Homo-oligomer: A and B are copies of this chain.
Amino acid sequence: MNTIPPRPVDAVIASLREFLGERVSTTQAVREQHSRGEDQTPPTLPDAVAFVETTEEVSRALALCHQHGVPLVAFGAGTSLEGHVNPVRRGISLDLSRMTNILEVNAEDMDCLIEPGVTRQQLNDHLRDQGMFFPVDPGSHCTIGGMCATRASGTNAVRYGTIRENVLGLEVVLADGRVIHTGGRARKAANGYDLTRLLIGSEGTLGVITRVRLRLHGIPEAMSSAVCQFPDLAAAVNTVIVTMQSGIPVARIELLDADQVAACVKYSKLENLQPSPTLFLEFHGTPAAVKEQAEAVEAIAADHGGEGFAWATDAESRNKLWKARHDAYWAAINLIPGYRGITTDVCVPISHLAEAIVGSKQEALASGLTTCIVGHVGDGNFHQVILFDPNDAAGLEKAWELDRKIVARGLALGGTCSGEHGIGLGKREFLEVEHGAEALAVMRGIKQQFDPKGILNPGKMFRN
């Protein structure tokens, strides 16, 4: 009698059901929801999705996958843009989005302890009454766990740092189910290898984050936003360079190119803006400090031909502006009905930013593709959204080709292929180019030590 031998993953699923019950799903719909993020990778269905609620459940799930050699991919809100949550080798998608407890908030120490499924918005809603906030803001409805795993940042990083600077410690489940605690509650420490920073940005390849201790910040007494338009990209970028060199502590300084401004005007009804390179700014501090900062930047902008410097302290105007900024991606892809977008994530030394942006824009124009640029320019990071027709395979290939050229230009200018989105599937080919073979070998060695069976998010970051 011939029987199909049981697959290792079936044994894992059966054992998971023993303690998760109906929180293990093999339905088509749930598997499809966990087949990729907001990226453009071809979806892969996991064999099952396990909705975990405690560290112990995560630990048991990993121990099972380790025992049976079954791949496991941690899943949060699924907002990754680089294929991180696509289970390319199938196996288990471990959904942590139900782990949403805010376990501690310490007002005196301005820190908190949370579970990884807590979103940025949820945390800030919780904190508001206590006069504190968590500043790292990628602009999407991502979870804090996912932000840690991908080393996220966003518009506020120029002032408050990325998630790397705002995590005090982690609880992490290792590949075999062991639980470790990294970092601690002290604000700084010189106490052994910095496992916290090693795990931040490791994209689920070294362990699964089950708790995060975050630094919090006091809500500034005053905030104001400003908009300023420029005759060309170089004028806008040079305004940023001088602003940064002057040590003005801008909270946000974002560049939109003329095409992106046009898209936002249409999508977000931003009256009064011309389709020319534009800076969106925000200032945090005391009322006097905010006024002084805004006036200083206004003077620098005027020196560079900036026009119509308009600043607003009311929450409504500020919210409208930053909503438009956060919707920039949707504004861009709405330029052409039915199109979708590939988003680049190059980050260069700021002195090369104008060259990177202007060159990448010219490359796009030469290719005949429509692109829009938004940038966290205080950090030298910009995103070029490349529009493509999802029903045109040749057009998609052309879009990827442009993406590779933009990255190559960024690397040639001393930059990185990823300022904040991570490597995932999409940027693997650049990792060795950027770091060199020896440094990559060290990274592989670390991976091998943490995950000898290669079960943790296999196929990501490294090309095999």
Contacts of A165 in B (CB 8 A): 161, 165
Q: Which stretch from A15-23, A85-93, A410-418 is at the chain B interface?
A: A410-418
State whether the Cβ of A315 lies closer than 8 Å to any Cβ in chain B: no
Interface residues of A in 398-454 (CB under 8 A from B): 414-423, 427, 430-431, 434-436, 438-440, 442-443, 445-450
- Is the pair A189, B347 in contact by a Cβ cutoff of 8 Å? yes
Choose from B186, B419, B423, B442 the contact partner of A174 (Cβ within 8 Å).
B442
Are A189 and B418 in contact (CB-based, < 8 A)?
A: yes
Checking B241, B415, B431, B445 against A186 with a beta-carbon cut-off of 8 angstroms, the contacting residue is: B415
Name A381's contact: one of B188, B431, B435 (CB within 8 Å).
Answer: B188
Size category of the A interface is 35 or more
Partner of A247, one of B150, B162, B220, B414: B220
Least CB separation from A461: chain B residue: B192
Q: A197-228 toward B: CB 8 Å interface, digit per residue (1/0)?
A: 11011100010000000000111110000000
B379 engages A187 (CB within 8 Å): yes
A109 contacts partner chain B, Cβ-Cβ < 8 Å:
yes
Q: Which of A149-165 contact B (CB under 8 A)?
A: 150-153, 157, 161-162, 164-165
A111 vs B380: C-alpha distance when bound (angstroms): 13
Task: List, in ascending order, chain B residues with CB within 8 A of A194's CB.
Answer: 151, 164, 194, 197-198, 200-201
Q: How far is the CA of A161 from the CA of B187 in the complex (A)?
A: 10
Q: In the complex, how many angstroms separate the beta carbon of A12 from the nearest chain B beta carbon? A: 23
Q: Which residues of B contact A349 (CB under 8 A)?
A: 106, 108-109, 111, 185-187
Task: Report whether B434 and A190 are in contact in the complex, using a CB–CB cutoff of 8 Å.
Answer: no
A420 to B245, CA, bound (A): 28
The answer to whether A181 and B423 touch across the interface, beta carbons within 8 angstroms, is no
Residues from chain B with Cβ under 8 Å of A246 in the complex: 218
Are B188 and A442 closer than 8 Å at their CB atoms? no
* Complex contacts, A189 vs chain B, CB 8 Å: 151, 347, 416, 418-419
Q: Give chain B nearest CB distance to A321 CB in angstroms.
A: 22
A285 cross-chain contacts in B, Cβ below 8 A: 247, 289
Give every chain B residue within 8 A of A289 (Cβ-Cβ): 285, 288-289, 292
**Is the pair A439, B182 in contact by a Cβ cutoff of 8 Å?**
yes
A191 at the interface (CB under 8 A from B): yes
Residues in B whose Cβ lies below 8 Å from that of A221: 247
Q: Is the CB of A427 within 8 A of B191?
A: yes
Q: How far is the CA of A427 from the CA of B189 in the complex (A)?
A: 12
Cβ–Cβ < 8 Å partners of A103 in chain B: none
A54 contacts the other chain (CB 8 A): no
- Decide yes or no whether A101 CB sits under 8 A from chain B: no
Identity of the chain B residue whose Cβ is nearest the Cβ of A196 in the assembled complex: B197
User: Does chain B have a CB within 8 A of A300?
Assistant: no
User: Most chain-B CB neighbours within 10 Å: which of A195, A200, A349, A450?
Assistant: A349
List of B residues within 8 angstroms of A461 by Cβ: 192
Query: With A109-B351, A220-B247 known to touch, is A190 a contact of B181 (CB < 8 Å)?
Result: no
Instruction: State whether B446 touches A416 (Cβ < 8 A).
Output: no
A358 within 8 A of B: no
From residue A284, how far is it (CB to closest CB) to chain B in Å? 8
Task: Report chain B residues within 8 Å CB of A28.
Answer: none
Tell me if B418 and A108 are in contact (CB < 8 A). Answer: no
A-B contact pairs, 19 of them (CB 8 A): A108-B349, A109-B350, A151-B190, A164-B194, A178-B438, A186-B349, A187-B379, A189-B347, A190-B418, A190-B421, A192-B440, A192-B443, A193-B206, A195-B443, A198-B198, A218-B246, A220-B247, A288-B288, A445-B450
Q: Please provide the 5 A-B residue pairs with the shortest distance between their CB atoms, ordered closest to farther.
A: A197-B197, A218-B247, A108-B351, A151-B190, A186-B347
Question: 9 new A-B pairs (CB below 8 Å) besides A106-B351, A164-B194, A190-B418?
Answer: A109-B350, A151-B189, A186-B380, A189-B416, A190-B419, A191-B423, A193-B446, A194-B201, A285-B289
